[in-house]
Structure 1
Amino acid sequence: MKTQRWMWIAWPAFLVAAVLEMIVFAMVDPGDLHWFGNPLGLSRQAIYTLAFFVFWGITMASSALTTLLAMSPFEVNRCPVPEGQRPEDCARNGQCC
């Protein structure tokens, strides 16, 4: 199930990052970019690559938050330890703290 959730997060984020890359660099020349007033000392290809991974990371965070918010309270609050194996101080109302 975790692999499936990771694919729900990573794959749409990858597609959106690719679209963002195309839109941004259709309007911005990587050679004109500056960081704190100084030109970036990177090649165009390096800037494209770094920008893609930044876009991908941001959109993955967004997808992960959406996936987290879509989980039911039962999924979020369930205890992974079987009830008979829980420590004494962990059991409260039949659920792990």
Structure 2
Amino acid sequence: MKYVIWVFWPAFIAAGIAETIFFTMIDPEQLYLFGQRVEWSVTATYSTGFLLFWLVCIGSSLMTYLMMPRDAKEALMKAAGDRDDLARPKRREPRSVGR
């Protein structure tokens, strides 16, 4: 699962940045696709735009991961260790009061 996170999470962040920049410069109500005006609601345009940006960024992150040298992949796996959740370290068992 952590390998999927290594691809999807950076892609999610990059898609959010790309969408913010894109829709800061372009009004979703004035978009044209194949010469025809897009008749979707603003929310639907933002959502579809984000999903398309995310798919492109997933492709980019996946290609980067697949093209990494084996040594770099092994170093990533070693750095991750046996941690199941890369966001938080595993919890330690509470110490007993009598010790």
Tell me the TM-score normalized by structure 1.
0.69
In structure 2, the partner of 1:56 is 54
Q: 2:17 aligns with which of 19, 23, 37?
A: 19
Q: Number of matched residues?
A: 72
Matched, 1:10 2:12: no
Instruction: Please give the root-mean-square deviation of Cα atoms over the aligned residues, in Å.
Output: 1.6
| Aligned partner of residue 42 in structure 1, secondary structure | coil
Q: 1:47 aligns with which of 45, 49, 53?
A: 45
Q: Return the structure number with greater strand share.
A: 1
Hey, which bits of structure 1, 4+ residues long, moved more than 2 A?
A: none
In structure 2, the partner of 1:37 is 35
Task: Provide structure 2 residue ranges, at least 5 long, that are not aligned to the other structure.
Answer: 74-99
Equivalent-residue separation in structure 2 for 1:16 and 1:36 (angstroms): 26
Give, in angstroms, the shift of residue 37 of structure 1.
Answer: 1.8
Give, in angstroms, the shift of residue 71 of structure 1.
Answer: 4.6
| Aligned partner of residue 39 in structure 2, secondary structure | coil
AA aligned to 1:70 is M
AA aligned to 2:50 is F
Give, in angstroms, the shift of residue 36 of structure 1.
Answer: 2.0
Task: Provide structure 1 residue ranges, at least 5 long, that are not aligned to the other structure.
Answer: 76-97
Equivalent-residue separation in structure 1 for 2:42 and 2:16 (angstroms): 16
